[in-house]
Every structure is written in C-alpha cells, then in structure tokens.
Structure 1
Amino acid sequence: MRFGRAAGPKRSTGRRVTPRGWRNRILAVGAAALALPIAAGVAAPTVAIAAPAHSPVLRAPAGGFEDLMVPSVMGPIKVQVQWAARGGNAALYLLDGLRARDDRNAWSFETNALQQFGNDNITLVMPVGGQSSFYTDWYSPSNTNGQKTTYKWETFLSKELPAFLEGYGVSRTNNAVAGLSMGGSGALALAAYHRDVFKYAASYSGYLNISAPGMREAIRVAMLDAGRFNVDSMAAPWSPAWLRMDPFVFAPQLKGLPMYISAASGLPGQFDKPNSAVGAFNTGNAMALEALSLVNTRAFQARLATLKIPAQFDFPAQGTHSWKYWEGELFKSRNGILDATGGW
C-alpha cells in the first residue's frame, strides 16, 4: 500500500539523483513514521518521497492492482486501483452502494469488474468507504452515530483524488464514473457538476428522482438502517441541497454527456435462489428496492426525453437489487465507457 502523494515503486531510471539535504531527509522520515499506524496489518508497505508535481511517478506494473492511501479533507482515504493494461491515462471510477464497507470497495470482490477491464487501457479507481454518504459534501458530521468527520465526498472524487492520480499519469479530465444504487445518483451528480473531470456516467439501479413524494422519508429510514446516519446532516429538510442532489432536477446539465442508465423489474431472476428464511427475506428486500429504483429511473427517462437529452437505457425483465445483476450491467456499458475515454 502506498501513502502520501503519488508515492511510487523504486526503479532504476539511469538518471543522476541530486541529494535532497538533511531537511528533506528529516521530513521523509517523519512522513514514514506517521504512515506506520495506518499501515498496521499491511505487509511491507512502500513509502517513498513524493515526486515533483510536474512529473508523474512511475506506477505499478501495467495492469497491476494496488491499494493507495489518498490524502483528503476527511483524512486518508483508501482507494483500490487496477492500473491500465498498457499505461493509458483513462480512468473509470466505480462507486459503491449505501452499505459501502471500510475495508474494500465491493466492485472489487462482488463482481468480475477487474477481469472485465483487465486487458483494457483504462485504470479502475475504486474508493473505499462512504457508507450512506450519497457521495456528496455534507453540512456536518452525523449526530446520531458519533461520526467525527464531515463527509466531503464530492470534493474528494472531483478534486483531491483526480489531482492525486495525476501523479501516476492518470488524466484529470479523461474519466468515466459509474455506480449502483446510492452510487448511481452520485455518479450522475459528479458528471453533471464536473464535466471537466468526467466525460461518461452510468447508473445501475439508481434513485434518480429523490424529490418524488416519499423518497426523502425512504432515504432517511435507509440511512438510519445503514450505519445510523442522520440524513439532516447531509441535507437539511427542504434545503437547496436536496434539489442539487436530484438527477431529475439537474438533468439539463447532463446534455451532451454519454450515459448508460438501467434498472430491472424487481422480479426474481437467475441469481435469486434463496434457500433459507433469511435468504427469502433478503430477496424480498432486493425486489422492493429494485422496484422503487425502476419507478425512479422510468421517471428520469421521461425527464430526459422531455429535454431531448439522449441516453442508453436498459430495463431487464428480471432482476433484483443485487450485485450479480450490476455486474452484467457494467459489462453492457463497457463499450460506451471505453469509447468515451479511448481506453481500448
């Protein structure tokens, strides 16, 4: 795992290295010492002195997988990365769902996303954490679960992370973003408000009409269930922040953006085979969540049609709110992602 800004593996370049002096050596030792507590439990982390901002650091071997610790206003954020197969500068940001974990991004182990893009010239960027965040900038820490830090995920994903990855040769401007459920609306919002960073967006089973009657209340309940987060810390009741987060409202800002948007019917399909009472309960929840996503997504489709904004839509006849279906939707959007970024 790497720490700090664009810390790269040691390689022989044949260039003469100029001594940095005692002051820089002391700073480097201090940075390494600060990194040690974060690296507990991680085998042999590589900590190196940051390179000048104007010169990308040599990255991991092309196509390699790596965990990075990226500085942010929220503190260090873990980001899992699969580097482009041939060193290209394109990137695909993959956003997690409401129950995002603190150890791994679920795209990296619940799906075959790494294999899907393993031979492509595009870097997969999978940020870790952000449970119930909707990948937006909050007003304050949640006061219902003892949260210490205010979520600032939009700032991280649109500014801090692209700037950090630029040190590895990943472009700040040649990126796609895709997400499921909570990450679906988050992906569209990032692309709408940061067109200079993202040139393609995909939403799988997203909630794309969150100002519809009952949606804010549903989100409140869901966030309490997923980590006991207080939705009012994200957006105060009836504040403009709600409208800013709503794809149905900011839809005009998506004009000219290539998009892939999907939601299934909620009817059980090939991946729904519960064999216990708990399994049946979970399948029932997944059916209801997907049906709600379908209603939202159909409304968003009508909204785009009214605005004469084209997008690629997919509405499978079967499928619930679960990972194997999103794996398939990622594959269906793969060509559009690679076309938009030149990541072939």
Structure 2
Amino acid sequence: MLVRRGPRVSDEEAGVVAIRLLTGRSGERSSRMRSARRPGRTTRSGSWVKRAAIGVAAAMLVPMGVSIAGPAAPASAAFNPAGFDFWVDSGMGPIKSRIFRAKDGNTNRVVYALDGLRAPETLSGWEIDTNVAQLLTDWNINVVMPVGGMSSFYADWNAPSSFAGIPPGTGSSSGSGALNALAAGPGKSYRYQWETFLTQNLRWALRDRLGFNPNRNGVFGLSMGGSAALTLAAYHPDQFSFAGSYSGYLNISAPGMREAIRLAMLDAGGYNVDSMAPPWGPQWLRMDPFVFAPLLRDNNTRLWVSAGSGLPGPADGPTAGTVNGMALEALALANTRAFQLRMATLGANNVVYSFPNVGIHAWSYWAEEVARMTPDLSAHIG
C-alpha cells in the first residue's frame, strides 16, 4: 500500500502477534561471511503509541541488528561480477565500495545503497542477498555500495568503541579471552568516521576518478542504513536530493529506543552506543530523524519511507528467524509511523510512504521495496 502523505495509522495486530510469539523463544542470527578489512496523542488501543511500546518491548527480547534471510535470494546473488572494487583512503584507513555502472554509461545519475547493522567487511548485504544492482543499472543509475560499517549508523562517532571497559585491542577468540575479542574489529582501535567518508572522501573520489556527478545523488538503506540515509540527506542536501528508508529506526529518542539500540549494538559486534554519541546530547539528537525532520521538509528532499506490517508472508517459514523479523519490523513500523505523524504536523509534502500489508525484517522484502521505489528515485536524481 502506498500513501503519499497523511497521519492515518494502521492496525496493530503485527506487534501483538510478535510479542506473543516471542514469549519464551530465543532469537536466531543469520550468518554472513566476514573477513578483515584491507591495510500524537491518542487513546485508541490501536494507536502508534501502543505499537511503539510493543515494538520496544520486542527489541529488548530480540537483537535489533539481526539480518533475516527470508526467502532464498536469487542464484546470481552473493557476488556480482558486473561490479568492481573501489578503494578510498579515509581517516579510518582504506575503505572499499562496490561500484555498478549504469547501463547507458552515464555518470550523472548516482545512488548510494547503505547496509544494515551487521554490515560485513566483504561485500554489502545488498550484493550478497539481493539483485538490486542489476535492477538499478538497468534504469541507468550508477550504484555505490559502501562495504563495512558494522553497527556504525554511518555516523562520525564520538570515540572508538569500547566494550565492558576493555580498551581497543585484540584477544583470544575462545575461553576467557572471548570477551576480550569483542574489543577488536572495525571502529574499535580507531574512531568511526562514516559520515565524513560518505560525504567527503568517497564523494570526491567518485568525481575525480570516475567522473560521477557529486550532486543530486540518491541514498537509501535498510534498518540502520535507513536512518542514516535520512541523516545524510538532512545535513548534505547538495549531495543528496533523494533518500529512502526501509524499516528504519526514525524515532531513536523515543522511550526505550536508546537501550534497544544498545543491546542490538552489543549483539552486533560488541559495540558501545555511548562511544557513538553520549546520551541525549546534541550529537545523539542530530542523528534522530524525528528531531531533524524540519530540515528534510525545508530542503524539499524527495523521501521514500517504508516499513512492513510485521506479518509474515507465505514464503516465511515457522522459524525463529521469522519470529525475530516480525518483532524487528513491528519496532521499525512504530518508529516509521511516528515519523510520518511528525512530518504531517510539519506540513511536509515531499514524502512517499509505503506500508505493505505483509512484510518482516528481511532482505526479500527490502529488495521488493527497491523495485517499488526505483521509478521515483529515477525521477529525482541527476
């Protein structure tokens, strides 16, 4: 279901079902190959406020960063030979992106695809689990897939991530050293600077080395990447004229959300949310789409904002992964509905909302959303 704008709120069955199914069930993480980086107010029972409470409770039980595989990805997924590695130096060291050239060879139309919380160091999840690169290049859009950034929210962090008081370093991966091992990894011995990388280092390298247009680009992402896409568009409107958020967390200052994010980041690599941004300070609020929504309205950035219902489809089996995906999507939907109401109160008319009747936190649904979004993306970049 596509909604151009307005505060209408959907039914809340998904969140209730998620909580009921979660009770007494443990989560199941999907595995990904990883390697080291190269040197309103309402009293109705069906209100979004109730959905938010349900979703936050679910997040406390299920790690928010879980990447649910969903139905099997097409056979050509996992590695796309049409793409090529593009290394750029940064304050974090050399960072790899994967580039897919537009079918017609143009350099004017560019979109960045951002990963989720468990972003691996090998390939973007968009390449591993979907074929969106082929779809977008067939629409004559150049695709940039930054690789890495686990738990980063693609932000410039306040400090290198610490874990349980353990300073950055390495340690044994087994026995008593297992905890110390969580102090190692990207963003542990250095400070994450992903916003700087995406808006300066990578942006200008793409222009200078490939001739890509550095202005009026698009950016979209899932979950963590959806929140980040809106952040980048809000503060860099010359670079990004279009932003898409799928299952994003767009109201991170809501009650319980910081602690939900804390648990998710601990689960996804042992990262510390306090190292990213001190609680409730300017740096944290700067990352909250609900807070910076007026910038998106004033910039007139074209937005595509979506979240599923949290209800599984016929291809989603009765597994722990499906249960996790239901709960995560219920939380994302609560955040997205809150953002929708916020934009409505601001009188913003630059947003397309997409709320499919079926959909959990899974790659198959995000790939479908890219297909729905692409015509609108194509009309608003370059």
TM-score category, normalised to shorter length: 0.7 to 0.9
Structure 1 residue aligned with 2:3:
none
Distance 1:98 1:230 in 2: 13
Give the match for residue 11 of structure 1. Answer: none
1:224 to 266, 279, 283: 266
What SS does the aligned partner of 1:248 have? helix
Partner of 2:303: 259
- 8 Å CA contact 2:83–2:101 kept in 1: the answer is yes
**Which residue does 2:100 correspond to in 1?**
82
User: For 1:71 and 1:160, how far apart are their aligned partners in 2?
Assistant: 7
- Larger relative CO (CA 8 A, sep 6+): 1 or 2? 2
Q: State how far apart, in whole Å, the 2-side matches of 1:338 and 1:322 are.
A: 24
Aligned-partner Cα distance in 1 for 2:259–2:38: 37
Residue 200, structure 1, aligned to residue 218, structure 2: no
Residue type at the aligned position of 1:257: T
Matched, 1:122 2:141: yes
**Number of aligned residues:** 278
How far apart, in 1, do the equivalents of 2:254 and 2:309 lie? 19
Distance 1:263 1:132 in 2: 20
Question: Shift in Å at residue 38 of structure 1?
Answer: 4.5
Q: Secondary structure at the match of 1:312?
A: strand
1:273 and 1:115 map into 2 onto residues whose CA distance is 28
- After superposition, the CA RMSD in angstroms is 1.5
Q: Mark the CA change 1:236 to 1:38 in structure 2 (over 3 Å): closer, same or farther.
A: closer
Moved beyond 3 Å, runs of 4+: none
Offset of residue 271 of structure 1:
3.4
After superposition, give the CA deviation of every residue in 1:143-195 in whole Å (9 maximum; x if it has no partner): 11231111000001111111000021101103100000000000000000000
Q: Are 2:137 and 2:143, in contact at CA under 8 Å, matched by a contact in 1?
A: no
Match of 1:315 among 355, 365, 369: 355
Aligned position for 1:23: none
1:171-186 aligned at under 5 Å gives the runs: 171-186=213-228
Looking at structure 2, the residues matched to 115 and 122 of structure 1 have their Cα atoms a distance apart, in angstroms, of 10
Offset of residue 120 of structure 1: 2.6
Q: Where does 1:61-76 land on structure 2 (aligned, <5 Å)?
A: 64-76=82-94
Q: Which residue number in structure 2 is paired with residue 96 of structure 1?
A: 115
Return the index of the structure with the highest Cα Rg.
1
TM-score in terms of structure 1 length? 0.79
Contact 2:216 2:242 in 1 (8 A): no
8 Å CA contact 1:271–1:324 kept in 2: the answer is: no
SS of 1:184's equivalent? helix
How far apart are residue 215 of structure 1 and its match?
0.2
Contact 2:247 2:306 in 1 (8 A): yes
Structure 2, unpaired ranges of 5+:
1-36, 40-80, 164-182
1:132 pairs, out of 151, 162, 167, with 151
Shift of 1:328: 0.5
Matches within 5 A, 1:1-344: 38=38, 64-88=82-106, 89-144=108-163, 145-146=183-184, 147-167=188-208, 168-255=210-297, 256-274=300-318, 280-310=319-349, 311-342=351-382
Verify the 8 A CA contact 1:101 1:131 in the aligned structure 2.
Answer: yes
